């Protein structure tokens, strides 16, 4: 039955490729090459779709032969729960390039989006545990159970490694700060305490990492601020803060970067252990006497019950990929911090952060 | 404005063979992707970003802009020929483009669309080159209240796109608005009309599967019905396409539509969070209201196609303005372009104009070239695309259906979306049968969420005081225009109905 489905998908893809061919067949030499690239795209998509189903049998064979790990023998499908072109996608695609070098096969990123990342996260957990479908899990995983949107937790996966973290930062409108004599985190908190419920800060969408960052800030400092949600993402929140519609944002430094550089916004403190390399002048909250660290995280995971030998191989590949020069360069240019943790540490970390996130969500009444 | 530097940058870009090649490649890919329902310019850009890693900044930006501009035009090809808008923004082109095709003027419709796309794109690129700082400043002043009123203004166009009956148009629009309420509410994530188990509907009805269903699948069902009842007549493409560009007479007739469309597209595109899909409807409404013969709109006249396609491509220039000067992307494609800049170590934003001015000018030049590349690719293709009309219908419909369903699936790789697409196909077919217009549903689907989230956000920030909206001049202006548009279009519709009745006698 599954083979039938795969066949159907394949034939559908073929028809589409044909149509692309027909449409593009107007045949100047320039166009035929574009045609080829369009066809290549449709093909990779078709591949990604049929892979999870097609890989069943080799896995059974590998099991039968015990510890013999002839893995990987085929391309690996990597599920990304967020859309193409976003931060998670960019990080994952670069990481897959590096992983591919070590494993010697092609890794195809498959964006299964929707439901605030739930659909993709679910697909990773439900994938055939043969090592040929892996995926990237992100911060939002810690919120689903608490929100009641899904039963998924960190326990639904076998975590491989943490790849990246981006810290939240308290960034406010420069004019507003100046007119209220706010120069650092202490004066900001003092102002918020004097004006409870008046200061409005933007995060991104509801129950997203930056929204919860605001809750965490309130919980740790005892201030009362109003969090405004921006379903369309951090960029709009940052723009609204820069134009003074709201007083500030709790998004990452990278997202507020252009307006900090232009002087529209000032960052009062970054919720990280150390200062950000790209912003050496921005102090951490810790330096200012507030022990607040809060960041989003992304890491690789596989479904439960994967052969330990395969898992070990993937873990080793991840460790090698993290140090890959191209990947390091890419992440640096992209303003994303690499913060590797091995499988055991990452598992422990996910457990701890699930509790922290739940507490911060209580503060926000989520 | 440093004209010496501008000239130098143009020369550097336009004489660089690698940039020319990449831009042409991008335009070809964009036109093809845009023409396939469900494959949008956004997807094309996202897919090709990894290929541009190894290139220098300007060739890779040329490639991506080529896809962007090509995709904007490509969407109109399938909208005109097979009633399947390839991109959301092409849905308005369909209103006059498809009737033109049915009248046997497919080639003319395509060439008008292409020419208007090109002109609109050039207008956008010119505004971007010379007015970026002014427009960016304007975009900065759009907060939640202003966005809410902009959405209301957009909704006021509904009457103009309703067809014969205002009542039926409003019913369609409210149906669309109701559809927007399904899913998690955008502010607090409370499930509406669903439970958390229905993961396929958590984000509501997905826009592209709904769009493809309402137009393409509905057309296939209607077509099959015609074949079964023997009414389907095979159109022979008797139209001789002598010139791939519209003739002078046509251009004389459509140039005001192109000019206003290009400007409307540029300015709406420049507002972050509002894009081509809104601009095309506003431009269509504007050109219909200004026309001496509003009754001809929707029956297949080149003016309607020109108004929408120029707005559509004007947007690409407009959306680049906040991207470069504020670092805030104007739409989903520019959001991906933002990533491409950052990867090359350049952060778009106010500082870019100071520290990276040559790069900014080169991007202007690359956008201009991307528009030209789109025109060249379009010219090569017009004759060929138009032949699709003469493909035997029994063969064409199954292909449209398969491509449509695949397109609906590929957006989220979610099988549920195929079901959504088919269901809306049936709804669209029934609505067509009973003469309910489909475009108002679409406009409501685009503007509904924008209305809701900005309204709630505005009320949150103002602590529930709606009258604070009168403190914003921009919001008040939009409100006034919206009221004026509604009143005017009611009168206009009466005039149209009267004239149609006279013509019938």
pLDDT in tens, chain A (366 residues): 444 455 555 454 444 444 444 443 333 333 334 444 444 444 444 444 444 444 444 444 444 444 567 888 888 999 999 876 677 888 898 899 899 988 988 888 888 877 778 889 999 999 999 999 999 999 999 998 888 888 899 999 999 999 999 899 999 999 999 999 999 999 999 999 999 999 999 988 888 889 999 999 999 999 999 999 887 778 888 989 999 999 999 998 888 888 888 889 999 999 998 888 878 899 999 999 999 989 899 999 999 999 999 999 999 999 999 999 989 988 887 778 899 999 999 999 999 989 988 988 888 887
**Span B467-486, pLDDT tens digits:** 999 999 999 999 999 999 99
The closest of B180, B166, B162 to B284, measured between CA atoms, is: B162
Q: Which residues of A touch B385 (CB under 8 A)?
A: 23
Q: Which residues pair with B191 in a beta bridge?
A: B184
Which H/E stretch holds residue B107? helix B106-140
Domain tally, chain A = 2
Domain end, chosen from A261, A277, A293, is at A293
Of B28, B186, B199, the CB nearest to A115: B199
Domain end, chosen from A293, A325, A347, is at A293
CATH number of the domain within which A243 lies: 3.40.190.10
Q: Kind of pairing, strands A133-138 and A295-303?
A: antiparallel
DSSP tag of B216: I
Of A84, A115, A239, the CB nearest to B203: A115
Contact assessment for residue B377 and residue B24, using Cβ atoms and an 8 Å cutoff: yes
Taking CA atoms, what residue in B is nearest to A257? Answer: B347
CA atoms within 13 A on the CB side of B88: 24
> Is A278 found in the same domain as A207?
yes
A66 assigned to some structural domain:
no
> Is A177 found in the same domain as A120?
no
- How distant is the Cα of B500 from the closest Cα of chain A, in angstroms? 38
> Is A221 found in the same domain as A174?
yes
Domain end, chosen from A232, A259, A293, is at A293
Which pTM value belongs to this model? 0.83
> Is A176 found in the same domain as A152?
no
Instruction: List helix spans (H) across A282-342.
Output: 308-322, 325-333
- How distant is the Cα of B52 from the closest Cα of chain A, in angstroms? 13
Q: Which of A13, A236, A263 is most worth mutating to test chain B (most B CB atoms within 10 A of its CB)? A: A236
Of A34, A148, A207, the CB nearest to B29: A34
Q: Which domain holds residue A135?
A: 76-165+296-364
A63 assigned to some structural domain:
no
The closest of A220, A119, A244, A224 to A168, measured between CA atoms, is: A220
Are A334 and B343 within 8 A, CB to CB?
A: yes
The span from the CA of B199 to the CA of A113, in Å, is 11
Segment B91-95 shows an average pLDDT of 90
> Is A111 found in the same domain as A178?
no
A319 assigned to some structural domain:
yes
Tell me whether 0.90 is exceeded by the ipTM: no
Taking CA atoms, what residue in A is nearest to B322? Answer: A239
The closest of B297, B293, B347 to B324, measured between CA atoms, is: B347
Are B141 and A243 within 8 A, CB to CB?
A: yes
Q: Which of A100, A227, A245 is most worth mutating to test chain B (most B CB atoms within 10 A of its CB)? A: A245
The span from the CA of B114 to the CA of B172, in Å, is 30
Phi-psi region of B464 (alpha: psi -120 to 50; beta: other; left: phi over 0): left
Of A31, A235, A333, the CB nearest to B342: A333
The distance of Cα B107 from the centroid of its chain, to the nearest Å, equals 21
The span from the CA of A352 to the CA of A361, in Å, is 15
> Is A280 found in the same domain as A173?
yes
Are B399 and A15 within 8 A, CB to CB?
A: yes
> Is A234 found in the same domain as A176?
yes
Q: Which residues of A touch B468 (CB under 8 A)?
A: none
Contact assessment for residue B386 and residue B112, using Cβ atoms and an 8 Å cutoff: no
pLDDT for residue B303 is more than 60: yes
> Is A277 found in the same domain as A175?
yes
The closest of B91, B401, B81, B77 to B217, measured between CA atoms, is: B401
How many residues in total does chain B contain? 505
Q: Is the peptide bond between A72 and the residue preceding it cis, with omega within 30 degrees of 0?
A: yes
DSSP codes joined into one string, B279-337: HHHHHHHHHHHH-S-GGGTTS--HHHHHHHHHHHHHHHHHHHHHHHHHS--SSHHHHHH
> Is A232 found in the same domain as A328?
no
The span from the CA of A180 to the CA of B426, in Å, is 59
> Is A253 found in the same domain as A211?
yes
Contact assessment for residue B318 and residue B267, using Cβ atoms and an 8 Å cutoff: yes
The mean-pLDDT minimum among A228-232, B238-242, B423-427 falls in B238-242
Q: Which residues pair with A245 in a beta bridge?
A: none
> Is A178 found in the same domain as A289?
yes
Query: How many helices, marked H, and strands, marked E, lie in chain B?
Result: 20, 2
A39 assigned to some structural domain:
no
A64 Cβ neighbours under 8 A, 6+ residues apart? none
- How distant is the Cα of A47 from the closest Cα of chain B, in angstroms? 13
The dihedral built from the CA positions of residue B418, B423, B429 and B432, taken in this order, carries a sign that is: negative
pLDDT, residue A268, reads 95
Of B48, B199, B350, the CB nearest to A262: B350
Query: Is residue A344 classed exposed, middle or buried when 0-12, 13-18 and 19+ CB atoms within 10 A define those classes?
Result: exposed
Are A333 and B383 within 8 A, CB to CB?
A: no
């Amino acid at each position: 039955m599954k083979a039938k489905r795969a066949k159907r998908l394949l034939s559908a893809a073929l028809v589409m490729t044909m149509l692309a061919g027909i449409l593009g067949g107007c045949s100047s030499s320039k166009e035929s090459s574009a045609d080829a690239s369009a066809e290549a795209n449709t093909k990779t998509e078709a591949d990604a779709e049929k892979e999870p189903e097609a890989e069943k049998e080799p896995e059974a064979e590998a099991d039968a032969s015990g510890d013999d790990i002839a893995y990987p023998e085929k391309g690996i499908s990597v599920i990304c729960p967020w859309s193409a072109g976003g931060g998670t996608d960019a990080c994952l695609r670069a990481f897959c390039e590096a992983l591919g070098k070590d494993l010697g096969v092609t890794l195809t990123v498959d964006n299964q989006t929707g439901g605030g990342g739930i659909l993709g996260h679910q697909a990773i957990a439900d994938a055939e545990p043969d090592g040929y479908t892996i995926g990237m899990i992100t911060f939002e995983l810690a919120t689903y159970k608490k929100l009641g949107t899904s039963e998924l937790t960190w326990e639904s996966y076998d975590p491989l490694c943490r790849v990246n973290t981006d810290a939240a930062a308290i960034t406010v409108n420069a004019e507003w700060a100046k007119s209220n004599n706010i120069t650092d985190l202490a004066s900001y908190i003092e102002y918020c305490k004097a004006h409870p419920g008046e200061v409005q800060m933007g995060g991104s969408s509801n129950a997203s990492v930056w929204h919860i960052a605001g809750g965490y800030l309130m919980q740790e400092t005892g201030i009362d601020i109003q969090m405004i949600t921006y379903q369309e993402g951090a960029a709009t929140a940052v723009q609204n803060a820069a134009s003074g519609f709201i007083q500030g944002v709790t998004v990452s430094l990278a997202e507020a970067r252009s307006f900090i550089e232009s002087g529209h916004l000032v960052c009062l403190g970054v919720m990280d252990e150390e200062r950000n390399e790209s912003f050496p002048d921005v102090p951490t909250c810790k330096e200012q006497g507030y022990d607040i660290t809060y960041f989003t995280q992304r890491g690789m995971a596989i479904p439960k019950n994967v052969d330990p030998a395969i898992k070990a191989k993937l873990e080793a590949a991840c460790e090698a990929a993290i140090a890959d020069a191209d990947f390091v360069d890419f992440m640096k240019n992209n303003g994303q911090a690499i913060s590797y943790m091995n499988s055991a540490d990452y598992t422990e970390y996910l457990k701890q952060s699930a509790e922290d996130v739940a507490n911060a969500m209580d503060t926000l009444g989520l | 404005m440093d004209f010496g530097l501008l000239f130098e940058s143009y020369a550097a870009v336009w004489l660089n063979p690698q940039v020319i090649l990449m831009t042409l490649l991008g335009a070809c890919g964009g036109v093809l992707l845009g023409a396939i329902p469900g494959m949008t310019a956004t997807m094309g850009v996202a897919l090709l970003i990894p290929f541009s890693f190894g290139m220098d900044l300007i060739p890779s930006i040329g490639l991506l802009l080529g896809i962007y501009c090509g995709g904007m035009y490509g969407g109109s090809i399938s909208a005109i020929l097979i009633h399947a808008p390839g991109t959301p923004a092409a849905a308005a082109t369909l209103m006059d483009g498809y009737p033109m095709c049915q009248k046997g003027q497919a080639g003319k419709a395509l060439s008008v669309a292409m020419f208007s796309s090109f002109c609109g794109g050039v207008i956008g690129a010119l505004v971007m080159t010379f007015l970026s700082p002014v427009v960016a400043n304007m975009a900065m002043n759009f907060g939640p209240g202003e966005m809410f009123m902009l959405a209301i203004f957009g909704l006021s166009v509904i009457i103009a796109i309703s067809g014969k009956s205002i009542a039926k148009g409003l019913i369609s629009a409210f149906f669309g608005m109701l559809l927007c309420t399904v899913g998690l509410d955008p502010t607090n994530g409370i499930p509406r009309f669903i439970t958390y188990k229905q993961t396929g509907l958590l984000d509501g009805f997905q826009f592209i599967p709904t769009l493809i269903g309402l137009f393409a699948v509905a057309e296939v069902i209607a077509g099959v019905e015609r074949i079964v009842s023997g009414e389907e007549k095979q159109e022979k493409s008797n139209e001789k396409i002598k010139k791939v560009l519209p003739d002078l007479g046509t251009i004389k007739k459509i140039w005001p539509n192109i000019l206003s469309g290009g400007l409307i597209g540029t300015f709406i595109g420049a507002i972050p969070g509002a894009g081509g899909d809104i601009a095309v409807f506003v431009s269509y409404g504007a050109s219909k209201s200004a026309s001496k013969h509003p009754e001809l709109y929707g029956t297949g006249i080149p003016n309607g196609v020109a108004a929408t396609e120029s707005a559509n491509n004007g947007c690409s220039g407009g959306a680049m303005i906040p991207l470069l000067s504020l670092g805030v992307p104007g739409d989903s494609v520019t959001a991906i372009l933002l990533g491409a800049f950052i990867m090359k170590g350049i952060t778009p934003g106010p500082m870019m104009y100071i520290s990276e001015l040559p790069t900014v000018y080169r991007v202007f030049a690359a956008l201009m070239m991307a528009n030209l590349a789109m025109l060249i690719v379009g010219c090569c293709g017009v004759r060929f695309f138009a032949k699709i009309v003469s493909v035997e219908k029994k063969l064409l419909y199954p292909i449209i259906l398969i491509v449509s369903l695949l397109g609906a699936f590929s957006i989220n790789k979610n099988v549920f979306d195929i079901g959504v697409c088919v269901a809306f196909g049936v709804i669209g077919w029934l609505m067509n049968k009973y003469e309910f217009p489909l475009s108002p549903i679409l406009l409501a689907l685009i503007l509904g969420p924008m209305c809701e989230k900005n309204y709630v956000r505005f009320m949150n920030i103002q602590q529930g005081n709606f009258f604070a909206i009168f403190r914003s001049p921009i919001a008040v202006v939009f409100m006034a225009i919206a009221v004026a548009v509604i009143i005017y279009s009611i009168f206009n519709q009466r005039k149209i109905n009267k004239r149609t009745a006279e013509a019938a006698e």
